[in-house]
Homo-oligomer: A and B are copies of this chain.
Amino acid sequence: MAQLTGSIVKYPARNLVVWYLGLIAVGTIVLTWSISRGSGAESISLIDAIFTATSASCVTGLAVRSTPHDFSFIGQLVILLLIQVGGIGIMTITTFTMFNLGNKPSLRARAILTETLGASDGADLKWILQHVLVVTGVSEGIGFAILLARNLFLYEPGTAAWHALFHSVSAFCNAGFALHDDSLVSFQGDVIVNLTISALIIVGGIGFPVLLDLNKNWRRGPIDGWIHLHLHSKFMLFGTAFFLLAGFVGFLVLEWDGVLDQMPLWKKLLVSGFHSVTCRTAGFNTIDLASLTNATLFISMMLMLIGAGSCSTGGGFKVSTVMVMALHAWKTFQGASRVNFARRTIPGEVIQGATATALLFSVVAIAALTMLLVIEQSSTPHPKSQGLFLDAAFEVVSALGTVGLSTGFTGTLSNMGKLIIIVLMFLGRIGPISVFAALSMTERKTPVEYPKEEPLIG
């Protein structure tokens, strides 16, 4: 254990890759055993087993097989364990990496963050893991209790408990796997289920450091507590509220005459709210995505790209990255040479890192979409395959943002296409933290300064 810990401390990104590959490999093997197979289901192909194990470990939620029908109780349990281990693992390791690998210029910032964590002498892996386990246990426990109480009205006790457990873990880990083929469509109007799942998604997705920071400051009351929060927590709370509201209003307006048409007002609000919560990274759905308008799907794609918080179970660009970039652009247009927010100055390296990360993310998405288009649709000219473009783009963003929503394209993928999505899910999960670690571990060089010369832009 000590050796393992030492190894993670030294090479977090490399170890993360090895660990997740190991987790996926074990999951794949167990899922191919007949004991994992649902009664009456065909045996699973290797690629489908890899796909399912990757999707579960990376808490993505895209599915090529039906979770309730193609897998036995054992198979579902394996999926649940992969989700739980994957979710806890990513929270622990990202937090550890973020807090122990800051750039040299930001030693002071690191001290502040370490102080946030409340660990006395830097944040060691064990301390973080323990606290992540507590947060996870408490959240999932509460979620389980509420869902169980609700489920007892619907199922016999064993099923009720199993469904409550599976869905509370899947929601907190932002995994989006469900024990119904239509995800949560049958619970579309169920206020308790909607609110519980939404709360779990938000808590799991806002990020471990924010939860600790809130835990430390909530006693101060709203105003004094807000002031004492760290910049990152302010960013996340403000950003999350903003994007939740934007998604909610967007969905409500765009689908008012669409899928929401026949619903009473309270249900319109409930469905819009749930979609806004889920589409940033969780991947459950209470409406059939394929029946949405193009405009809603496009906005959903943007929200999927933005994603959730750093050091959380969620994916995407991350809310704070997007906010740093937006703030930077805004300040640039105001002619300011420094980016200030809430009486703090954001260091130039962070802005540089955010921009470079976003650009890399975009390049990967563009390359993957191009490959997918070539592989799945290259033999068909546009008039015949045009409908598939949005589906393919949606799928790529969903996989890379580890969201797991799909308009149905997943089911039509060829083996090669599945492989691309598998790689994307993996990159979406391991990529950002590896890039961060790489950025942080690279020794900062200050190259020779040449005479300045400006290329023309704009």
What are the residues of chain B within 8 A of A302 when measuring CB–CB? 366
Which of A62-70, A149-157, A440-448 lies at the binding interface?
Answer: A440-448
B295 x A455 contact (CB < 8 A) = no
Choose from B290, B336, B357 the contact partner of A383 (Cβ within 8 Å). Answer: B290
A267 proximal to B (CB < 8 A): no
A386 proximal to B (CB < 8 A): yes
A212 proximal to B (CB < 8 A): no
Which residues from 380 to 400 on chain A have a C-beta closer than 8 Å to any C-beta of chain B?
380-383, 385-392
A333 x B356 contact (CB < 8 A) = yes
Cα distance A259–B432 in the bound complex, in angstroms:
39
A310 x B457 contact (CB < 8 A) = yes
A389 x B294 contact (CB < 8 A) = yes
Q: Closest chain B residue to A302 by CB distance?
A: B366
B445 x A360 contact (CB < 8 A) = no
A335 x B444 contact (CB < 8 A) = yes
Cα distance A153–B377 in the bound complex, in angstroms:
42
The distance from the CB of A205 to the nearest CB of chain B, in whole angstroms, is: 14
Cα distance A333–B445 in the bound complex, in angstroms:
11
Cα distance A448–B341 in the bound complex, in angstroms:
11
B332 x A457 contact (CB < 8 A) = no
How many residues of chain A are within 8 Å of chain B by beta carbon?
A: 107
Answer whether A458 and B318 are a contact pair too, CB < 8 Å, given A112-B453, A374-B254: yes
B254 x A378 contact (CB < 8 A) = yes
A130 proximal to B (CB < 8 A): no
What are the residues of chain B within 8 A of A192 when measuring CB–CB? none
What are the residues of chain B within 8 A of A360 when measuring CB–CB? 329, 333
Cα distance A450–B456 in the bound complex, in angstroms:
32
B340 x A447 contact (CB < 8 A) = yes
What are the residues of chain B within 8 A of A19 when measuring CB–CB? none
A208-250 CB mask vs B (1 if < 8 Å, else 0) is: 0100000000000000000000111001000000000000000
B380 x A338 contact (CB < 8 A) = no
Answer whether A294 and B392 are a contact pair too, CB < 8 Å, given A356-B328, A433-B458: yes
- Copies in the assembly, this chain: 2
Cα distance A329–B209 in the bound complex, in angstroms:
27
A427 proximal to B (CB < 8 A): no
A439 x B293 contact (CB < 8 A) = no
Cα distance A294–B318 in the bound complex, in angstroms:
29
Choose from B293, B336, B344 the contact partner of A452 (Cβ within 8 Å). Answer: B344
Which residues from 72 to 120 on chain A have a C-beta closer than 8 Å to any C-beta of chain B?
98, 102, 106, 108-109, 112-113
Query: A235, A450, A457: which has the most chain B beta carbons within 10 Å?
Result: A457
What are the residues of chain B within 8 A of A102 when measuring CB–CB? 454
A454 x B295 contact (CB < 8 A) = no
What are the residues of chain B within 8 A of A298 when measuring CB–CB? 369-370, 373, 389
What are the residues of chain B within 8 A of A392 when measuring CB–CB? 294
A292 proximal to B (CB < 8 A): yes
Answer whether A332 and B347 are a contact pair too, CB < 8 Å, given A383-B290, A389-B390, A444-B337: no
Answer whether A442 and B209 are a contact pair too, CB < 8 Å, given A294-B392, A340-B450: no
What are the residues of chain B within 8 A of A112 when measuring CB–CB? 453
Cα distance A100–B451 in the bound complex, in angstroms:
20
Cα distance A385–B298 in the bound complex, in angstroms:
13
B456 x A98 contact (CB < 8 A) = yes
A146 proximal to B (CB < 8 A): no
Cα distance A286–B210 in the bound complex, in angstroms:
56
The distance from the CB of A342 to the nearest CB of chain B, in whole angstroms, is: 9
What are the residues of chain B within 8 A of A324 when measuring CB–CB? 455, 457
Would you mind naming 30 contact pairs between A and B with Cβ atoms under 8 Å apart?
A98-B456, A108-B451, A231-B453, A231-B455, A254-B374, A291-B383, A293-B381, A294-B382, A295-B374, A298-B370, A310-B456, A310-B457, A310-B458, A320-B456, A324-B457, A328-B355, A329-B360, A332-B353, A332-B439, A335-B443, A336-B446, A340-B447, A344-B451, A345-B450, A346-B454, A357-B458, A386-B387, A386-B390, A386-B391, A433-B458
Known: A102-B454, A298-B373, A386-B388. 19 other contacts (CB 8 A): A109-B452, A109-B454, A209-B456, A254-B374, A293-B382, A295-B373, A295-B374, A302-B366, A321-B457, A324-B455, A324-B457, A326-B359, A332-B356, A336-B444, A343-B450, A344-B450, A345-B451, A347-B452, A355-B355
